[in-house]
Structure 1
Amino acid sequence: MATLINATIPACELALSEAFTSLPNLEIEAEQLIKGGENTVMPLLWVRGVEPDDFEAACESDPTVDELELLTAFDDELLYRMQWFDQVSLLFQMLTNAKACLLDAFGKNGTWSLRLMYPSREHLSETKMFCSEHELSFSIEAIQELEGEPSGRYGLTTKQYRALVTAVNAGFFDVPREVTLREVATEMEISHQALSECLRRGTHALVENTVLIGPAESHP
């Protein structure tokens, strides 16, 4: 059975440790991580909380950064293409060995928060063994088994998933709204209050597990 985990690893064992140390407000969200050569990774990263000049100066002295290119700049975030090397290759070796898929990566305060999917618990055990052998401080924060329902991929309960899907299909989230909350509740044969609570909690879980990367407290 597929297994979804949230885990953390210190930046000193992955990438950009010195950048996080010199820039305490730095936040980084991976848009994409691509394996390059044997010992390189070419990521696209959203960078927040710093000015471009400060971030680029910090990267110049960071031993994990080989190349850096600013692609897009907005008021509150920057999109960079980089080239990492050195110990970064260990992460991809770990994922390859366990047939895992890296879904999300978020860095702050010298720590990377990762969201990973494994084909099974047995494959996750291979990661634990790999980390032990290579002395990696890989800490698992949460484990979730994906049991058939697509809700599991997004941190939703089955009731929350069905409530959101029913509301969307009925036009509750359309502008202008096609149906009222009470009409959706009637269709689902539950109370208006129960549906309201289900939609609120489901929306919170959906955003937290798809839009927000990393610890919830990182996103005021």
Structure 2
Amino acid sequence: MTVTAELLVSSPSLPFVSFAESLPSNQLECVHGLCLGGDSQVFVVHLDPADGVTEDDLIALDEVVETTSLGRESGRDVYQLGVKLDDIVSEAFVPGQFAKAQIEPTIIVPEGWYEKKVVRDYDSFNNMRNHCDEHGIRVDLISITQDSPSPDEHSQYGLTDRQYEALALAISRGYYDNPRQATAGDLAEEMGISQPSMSNLLRRGERQLLTSTIGTQPSLTNPST
């Protein structure tokens, strides 16, 4: 099973956020390898020519230590940049937090970085988000979807695919936490179903898990003996 998450990553320490705010378009696109290695210092940025950014403008940025023009692609100016990262960024983006590198280019806007990542499972996403939070980097979830799970992951409990998906999402979003971090309505919205349907999926899934682990008629010990 893998999970695809769309995120907004925000921190004043992230490269190019202030720069994006200064552009007429208020955004730029980049590709980086931070999820493969926190010390990655090479960024490839794609800029709208209408923003009027020159190589001198880029090298003048505090975080840029080297620039190389790569020409123009798809109507945008492309530069390879050597970037000096703050320590918290290097420490937050460490190998192992993501199963794969970014699957789409990062869109940098004044609010932060919009990214789309593939993680191993919901727990991996939560671990990644908590790890970033510990380093002062906020990760806001925009959307999250799960691939079709392997039958081996839930067939032993007799769960259907949708029951498994609903329960996994509920756990990842804190539905079973105390205090509860999400409602059935919140989960239903993410899965694109009604709240009653979501509640029904959870209830049936919970019953199936209980039945598969303790049976339909568990033996009871007489408290008087």
Q: Common fold, TM-score beyond 0.5?
A: yes
- 2:137 alignment partner in structure 1: 136
Stretches of structure 1 lacking an aligned partner (at least 5 in a row) = 150-220
- 2:127 alignment partner in structure 1: 126
- Rounded Cα–Cα distance in structure 2 between residues aligned with 1:38 and 1:128: 15
- 1:98 alignment partner in structure 2: 97
Stretches of structure 2 lacking an aligned partner (at least 5 in a row) = 151-225
Kindly indicate whether the alpha-carbon contact (under 8 Å) linking 1:18 and 1:62 is maintained by their aligned counterparts in 2. Answer: no
- Rounded Cα–Cα distance in structure 2 between residues aligned with 1:58 and 1:41: 19
Kindly indicate whether the alpha-carbon contact (under 8 Å) linking 1:17 and 1:62 is maintained by their aligned counterparts in 2. Answer: no
Identity %: 12
> Shift in Å at residue 88 of structure 1?
7.7
> Shift in Å at residue 106 of structure 1?
1.2
What amino acid does structure 2 have at the position aligned with 1:94?
A: F
CA 1:75–1:141 in structure 2 vs 1: closer, same or farther (change >3 Å)? Answer: closer
What amino acid does structure 1 have at the position aligned with 2:83?
A: W
- 1:59 alignment partner in structure 2: 58
More helix by share: 1
Kindly indicate whether the alpha-carbon contact (under 8 Å) linking 1:18 and 1:58 is maintained by their aligned counterparts in 2. Answer: no
CA 1:132–1:18 in structure 2 vs 1: closer, same or farther (change >3 Å)? Answer: closer
Kindly indicate whether the alpha-carbon contact (under 8 Å) linking 1:6 and 1:115 is maintained by their aligned counterparts in 2. Answer: yes
- 1:115 alignment partner in structure 2: 116
Kindly indicate whether the alpha-carbon contact (under 8 Å) linking 1:68 and 1:81 is maintained by their aligned counterparts in 2. Answer: yes
SS in 1 for 2:95: helix
- Rounded Cα–Cα distance in structure 2 between residues aligned with 1:76 and 1:34: 24
RMSD, aligned CA: 3.0
CA 1:134–1:92 in structure 2 vs 1: closer, same or farther (change >3 Å)? Answer: closer
- 1:114-172 Cα distance to aligned partner (Å, 9 max, x none): 000001111112112102211112111111101169xxxxxxxxxxxxxxxxxxxxxxx
- Rounded Cα–Cα distance in structure 1 between residues aligned with 2:87 and 2:103: 16
Q: What number of residue pairs does the alignment pair up?
A: 146
- 2:29 alignment partner in structure 1: 29
More strand by share: 1
Kindly indicate whether the alpha-carbon contact (under 8 Å) linking 2:91 and 2:135 is maintained by their aligned counterparts in 1. Answer: no
Kindly indicate whether the alpha-carbon contact (under 8 Å) linking 2:2 and 2:147 is maintained by their aligned counterparts in 1. Answer: yes
- Rounded Cα–Cα distance in structure 2 between residues aligned with 1:27 and 1:120: 30
